[in-house]
Amino acid sequence: MIEVKQLSKMFGTTLAVDNIDFTANSGEIFGLLGPNGAGKSTTINCISGLTNATEGSVEINGFNISSDGVKAKQSLGLVPQELALYEDLSAHENLLFWGSAYGLGGEELEQRIQQVLQNVGLENRQKEAVKQFSGGMKRRLNFACAILHKPAALLLDEPTVGVDPQSREHLLSAIEDLKKAGTSVIYTTHYMEEAERLCDKLAIIDQGKIIASGTVDDLRAQVGERDLITLKGHFKNTGESSHFDELNAEVLEFSDDEIRFLIADASNKLTDVLSIVEKNFGKVAHVSIQQANLESLFIKLTGRALRDDA
Ligand SMILES: Nc1ncnc2c1ncn2[C@@H]1O[C@H](COP(=O)(O)OP(=O)(O)O)[C@@H](O)[C@H]1O
Ligand SMILES: [Mg+2]
């Protein structure tokens, strides 16, 4: 179990993490979903003891990370955002190195190495030097290194960024297996699809603060059974919102080139939407309709998209 209480971290005058609380129980994946710079890595680094929190406390299986660091770390595995691998060594040699760092050795370590290689689908590549691996294979090995000692609590900091679909699937299913085996997992990501698939509970984090939290269903309920329509084109905001009120739509974002709003039963209302927008605000060049999801909630709460490319 991982318990984070009133955690804050200042870097100079930057408040990177602002008074956050959450708990990941055994057999539970807790997600921290937020854009770049939200404070996800800083939170992970405070939990793992790499960074000293400015305020608040972290307990891993009842052991405080600052006053009982050695015991707390024994049951902790960390997959950092940056790879921590020796490129010139083989996958197997990297695992031997990490295993001995955890105090494992002999036949027990060799068995664990073969087990974790199998978990991430790298058993046939174990003799190859890491520098020959693809980015996705390196991420899988990075993950394998972190779970060698069967940690009861596991911290994963954006483990799937830049990986190919096959590696991503290997990683996600390995994480699901650990959850089933009772591990407490904290998972940071800016991919809302991953958060929706994996997380039992999650917190949406922005500018160091938790702005919403709960189960995926709790969070979806905050946007309701509505669809998200995104219109791209050239618009002029006349400040006249009654046109949208007429459609029973909630406008989340209105800029010169983009309008986003939530609306029930979008596909049936699209003709009305387009004629009202074109009559009042300008030409529509592109339309997309999505089911309301965590991304819609993020836009609703912050007025911004979660991803740069969204
Ligand atoms: N070592 C550091 N020194 C100063 N500022 C930092 C440091 N690490 C992170 N920050 C700042 O803290 C904020 C949160 O960063 P980070 O935790 O890396 O976000 P995320 O992982 O969500 O992208 C950002 O404004 C970042 O610039
Ligand atoms: Mg980060």
Contact assessment for residue 7 and residue 57, using Cβ atoms and an 8 Å cutoff = yes
In whole angstroms, what separates CA 289 from the centre of its chain?
24
Tokens of 49: 């003891």
Which among 194, 260, 188 is positioned nearest to 223, based on CA atoms? 260
Tokens of 94: 């990297």
Q: What is the pLDDT of the chain when averaged over all its residues?
A: 93
Give residue 245's pLDDT band: very low, low, confident or very high (50, 70, 90).
confident
Which letter does DSSP use for residue 123 in this model? G
Tokens of 52: 């000293």
For residue 243, the surrounding DSSP H or E stretch is helix 242-247
Least confident of 73-87, 209-223, 249-263, 288-302: 288-302
Q: Is the pLDDT of residue 169 over 60?
A: yes
3-class SS string, 35-96: CCCCCHHHHHHHHHCCCCCCEEEEEECCEECCCCHHHHHHCEEEECCCCCCCCCCEHHHHHH
Which among 57, 55, 62, 51 is positioned nearest to 25, based on CA atoms? 62
Q: What is the mean pLDDT of residues 188-194?
A: 92
**In CATH, 2-215 is 3.40.50.300:** yes
β-bridge mates for residue 63, sequence order: 60
Q: What is the pLDDT of residue 195?
A: 92
The span from the CA of 43 to the CA of 53, in Å, is: 9
Give residue-wise pLDDT tens across range 106-145: 999 999 999 999 999 999 999 999 999 999 999 999 999 9
Q: How far is the CA of 90 from the centre of ligand 1 (A)?
A: 32
Of all protein residues, whose CA lies closest to atom 5 belonging to ligand 1?
11
The architecture in CATH of the region 224-292 reads 2-Layer Sandwich (3.30)
Ligand 1 atom closest to 17 (CA): 14
Q: What is the mean pLDDT of residues 184-192?
A: 95
Contact assessment for residue 143 and residue 95, using Cβ atoms and an 8 Å cutoff = no
| Nearest ligand atom owner, CA of 80 | 2
Contact assessment for residue 120 and residue 174, using Cβ atoms and an 8 Å cutoff = yes
The span from the CA of 303 to the CA of 281, in Å, is: 19
In the block, which residue shows the tokens 């049936």?
268
Q: What is the pLDDT of residue 308?
A: 56
Q: Is the pLDDT of residue 85 over 90?
A: yes
Ligand 1 atom closest to 12 (CA): 4
Task: Give the three-state DSSP class for 241.
Answer: coil
Which among 172, 166, 90 is positioned nearest to 124, based on CA atoms? 90
Q: Which residues surround ligand 2, an ion (CB under 5 A)?
A: 40-41, 81
Q: What is the mean pLDDT of residues 218-245?
A: 87
Give residue 310's pLDDT band: very low, low, confident or very high (50, 70, 90).
very low
β-bridge mates for residue 229, sequence order: 261, 289
Residues touching ligand 1 (Cβ under 6 Å) are: 11, 14, 16, 34, 36-42
Q: Is the pLDDT of residue 41 over 60?
A: yes
Of all protein residues, whose CA lies closest to atom 24 belonging to ligand 1?
37
242-257: b or e for each residue (b if 16 or more CB lie within 10 Å)? ebbeebebbebebeee
Task: Give the three-state DSSP class for 111.
Answer: helix
Of all protein residues, whose CA lies closest to atom 17 belonging to ligand 1?
39
Q: Could you tell me what percent of the chain has a pLDDT over 70?
A: 99
The span from the CA of 71 to the CA of 156, in Å, is: 20
Q: Where are the domains of the chain?
A: 2-215, 224-292
Q: Is the pLDDT of residue 309 over 70?
A: no
Q: What is the mean pLDDT of residues 251-257?
A: 91
Ligand 1 atom closest to 190 (CA): 22
| Nearest ligand atom owner, CA of 206 | 1
